[in-house]
Amino acid sequence: MVQDKGKQIDMPQNEPKNKLLNRVFAAIFFMFILVLMYYTGYGEGSPVKPMADLIGPLAMTLFHALSPLGLGLTIILYGLLKEIWRPSLDFTFHRKRKWIIMSAILFAVVILLNIWWWVVNGLPNWLPQRGLQATLAEWFMGLFTVDTCVLSLMLGILFLTNSTPKKSPSYKTILIGTVFYQIMAVMLYVVQTGVNLAGSHTPFQVERYTDFLGYTIFQPWFWCDITYMIVTLVGALLLLRESSNIKRMVLIIAAVCIGFFIIGGSAAFMKPP
């Protein structure tokens, strides 16, 4: 805000230097998350694939977007759309050690996951059996655009910038969506683990969690998932604490998630008369 002969003139603040960069960044990750939401229903081993085949790709994507499992991603998509429409992210680099360490951890998660996939699946299985094109497609849809890689890469980049929720409405929306998604993911991990340890099964049980103590905890991807969830959740909460009521937001999100699991669990275990 500047003064001119006693009058106050509102000037736009925090205008990005390169709006094209902001829009390209937001559009790329918008596309990645859409692919993630599509693959959640149609990917190999997806527990909801029968439902996806029944209602079709568009309806399945919309269902996922509006369900508690995908609502966090929908909020992130909305934040990215806001950034495309009115750029506000500040991509200038900062040298704060805390955020550099967090970004380095997230980038390491992406690198380790990709190396693991190509060593365990891509080179010995997909490439010789299905060819290069199918292997690249499966790698892109089945690994690179999963939530662990997409959110680690996106937030790893943003944590290195001078963007803040106070200055950027789109960044604030993205962070709120991240908190919602990660709280839901943590609760889903707890439920999956508890169901497995109890020797029970649900209609939506993911195969890779069915032998938690004998298989899951020995897999590198499991620890990469846990690491990325903790770092992104903590980072988002630290950034939001100065511009949002964190306690109220977390309580609302937790209540929605618990309600979803209670209703969903009751429906899953309910037996017809």
H/E stretch holding 4: strand 2-4
- The torsion angles phi and psi of 171, rounded to 5 degrees, stand at -65, -40
- Residue 62 buriedness (CB in 10 A; 0-12 / 13-18 / 19+): middle
Q: Given this model, what pLDDT does residue 211 score?
A: 74
Question: Which pLDDT value is given to residue 241?
Answer: 86
What's the pTM value of the predicted model, to 2 decimals? 0.84
CA dihedral for 150, 256, 67, 76, sign (positive or negative): negative
Q: Cα separation of 250 and 247, whole Å?
A: 5
pLDDT tens-place values along the chain, 273 residues long: 444 444 444 334 567 777 899 999 999 999 999 999 888 776 666 666 667 777 777 777 788 788 877 889 999 999 999 999 999 999 999 888 999 999 999 999 999 999 999 999 888 888 888 899 989 988 998 889 999 999 999 999 999 999 999 999 999 999 999 999 998 888 887 777 777 776 666 555 666 777 777 888 889 999 999 999 999 999 999 999 876 666 777 777 777 767 766 655 554 444 444
Length reported for the chain? 273
**pLDDT, position 202:** 59
Max CA-CA distance within the chain? 81
